Amino acid sequence: MTSTIQRQQHQLASDELKLPTPRQLRDTLPLNTQLSSQIQQQRMQIVRLLNGHDNRFMVIVGPCSIDDEAAALDYGKRLAKLARQVDDKLLIVMRSYVEKPRTTHGWKGLAYDSLRDGRGNMALGLHRSRQVLLQLSALGLPLASEALHPLVMSYLDDLISWAAIGARTSESQPHRELVSHLPCPVGIKNSTDGRISSAINAMHASSRGHHTLGIDDDGQISIINTRGNPDTHLILRGGQGLTNYDADSIHHALSQLSANDCHEKVLIDCSHDNSLKQYERQMEIAHHVVDQHLAGNSGILGLMLESYIEAGKQNDSDQPIYGQSITDACMGWNDTEALLTALYQKLRKRDV
């Protein structure tokens, strides 16, 4: 008797553990032709910037992590409106991260634990992630996300215009294979200790085709033949308490990229070690980076900001605060809008 109950419980648990295949989730939450061609065009716009065929400045801005669809959409609407007003000078891409790499442990993002109850209902998490990315795309914004788990990407990569490989994974072979397969431009971060060589090696490795393991659209474990991704670039995010957004660090990075035959373009992450995790510092860093660009440094592709509706970050023990980060501390919307407007005006002034 007991063993029958145990078997039934086990059966229930394993049913709950089953996920839809990528095709099933895409069929449930389809990308329509209009949005699909919007995303194709947005990817191509970023590639044009990367190849120096468009001299706009790219800004990847948004919450450290998406934890709540209502707040993400509220933020997205504000950003989409601003993006339209400045789009002759700034190509604005919304940070829409549904996976978070952790230094040790902590909340891993909407895709893993959307209820934030620690039970890891990934069927719900993947559904909610795909749904919110579709809704954000429909606002007209290009979306940026970190490519962390290769299988998670098989559910979401059609919605993303730009992906990041984080500082903790740039040295990993499966991530380099993943980049080689992704259908969009990818920024690769310097490692957490500040080295840029791991990112440069990753750019080389991912520019080639690979044969690797993965799943097909129907969830069958398969050999995946990747095409090689020519559209990668370096992201400087500082490391081990040292910053690398100053002119000398950027010059050094660009000369290393040139010596290694990589795109001579860097994106500056104004957060993480560059801000020494003090979110307010992102504003002065962003100005410093745009000033270098205006002084003629054409190797600077743009910058990244962590920003949400409310400034700072929540404390686990507090009542939830709408629009405030539950991972890294972010700039608030008012400062973000003022900063992007000021950067835009600076860039326009150059042309008058």
Ligand X SMILES: O=C[C@H](O)[C@H](O)COP(=O)(O)O
Ligand Y SMILES: C=C(OP(=O)(O)O)C(=O)O
Question: Which residues contribute to the site for ligand Y (CB under 6 A)?
Answer: 64, 97, 101, 146, 166-168, 189, 237, 272
Nearest to 290, CA basis, from 303, 305, 278, 279: 303
First to last CA, the chain: 84
77 binding ligand X? (CB under 6 A): no
DSSP state of 348: H
- How wide is the angle at C-alpha 71 spanned by C-alphas 66 and 76, nearest 5°? 85
183 binding ligand X? (CB under 6 A): no
237 binding ligand X? (CB under 6 A): no
103 binds, among ligand X, ligand Y, none (CB under 5 to 8 A by kind): ligand X
Nearest to 168, CA basis, from 143, 126, 205, 199: 199
Tokens, residue 21: 């295949």
Closer CB to ligand Y, 90 or 147, in the complex: 147
Among 102, 208, 227, 251, binds ligand X (CB under 6 A): 102
Closer CB to ligand X, 216 or 328, in the complex: 328
Indicate the residue whose CB is closest to ligand X: 103
Tokens, residue 345: 């005006």
328 binding ligand X? (CB under 6 A): yes
Tokens, residue 245: 């957004």
Q: Are 235 and 199 in contact (CB under 8 A)?
A: yes
Nearest to 302, CA basis, from 204, 351, 235: 235
Strand partners, 213: 223
Q: Are 101 and 168 in contact (CB under 8 A)?
A: yes
264 binds, among ligand Y, ligand X, none (CB under 5 to 8 A by kind): none
Q: What minimum distance in Å lies between the beta carbon of 338 and ligand X?
A: 23
Nearest to 235, CA basis, from 163, 137, 180: 163
Q: What minimum distance in Å lies between the beta carbon of 102 and ligand X?
A: 4
- Separation of alpha carbons 252 and 256, rounded Å: 6
> Which parts of 267-306 interact with ligand X (CB under 6 A)?
272
Closer CB to ligand X, 45 or 190, in the complex: 190
Q: What minimum distance in Å lies between the beta carbon of 167 and ligand Y?
A: 4
101 binding ligand X? (CB under 6 A): yes
Closer CB to ligand X, 86 or 94, in the complex: 94
Strand partners, 306: 62
Alpha helices (runs of H) in 21-159, residue ranges in sequence order: 22-28, 33-50, 69-85, 110-113, 122-137, 150-156
Q: What minimum distance in Å lies between the beta carbon of 65 and ligand X?
A: 7
- For residues 184, 268, 315, 137, the Cα torsion angle rounded to the nearest 10 degrees is -30
189 binds, among ligand X, ligand Y, none (CB under 5 to 8 A by kind): ligand Y
Closer CB to ligand X, 52 or 106, in the complex: 106
249 binds, among ligand X, ligand Y, none (CB under 5 to 8 A by kind): none
Name the segment binding ligand X (CB under 6 A); options: 99-107, 120-128, 199-207, 224-232. Answer: 99-107
- From the CB of residue 117, how many other CB atoms can be counted at a distance below 10 Å? 8
- How wide is the angle at C-alpha 151 spanned by C-alphas 107 and 306, nearest 5°? 40
Q: What minimum distance in Å lies between the beta carbon of 15 and ligand Y?
A: 33
Closer CB to ligand X, 167 or 253, in the complex: 167
- Separation of alpha carbons 269 and 309, rounded Å: 19
103 binding ligand X? (CB under 6 A): yes
Among 56, 95, 100, 313, binds ligand X (CB under 6 A): 100
Strand partners, 188: 165, 234
- Separation of alpha carbons 40 and 196, rounded Å: 29
Closer CB to ligand Y, 205 or 347, in the complex: 205
309 binds, among ligand Y, ligand X, none (CB under 5 to 8 A by kind): none
> Which parts of 104-123 interact with ligand X (CB under 6 A)?
106
327 binding ligand X? (CB under 6 A): yes
Binding-site ranges for ligand X (CB under 6 A): 64, 100-103, 106, 272, 327-328
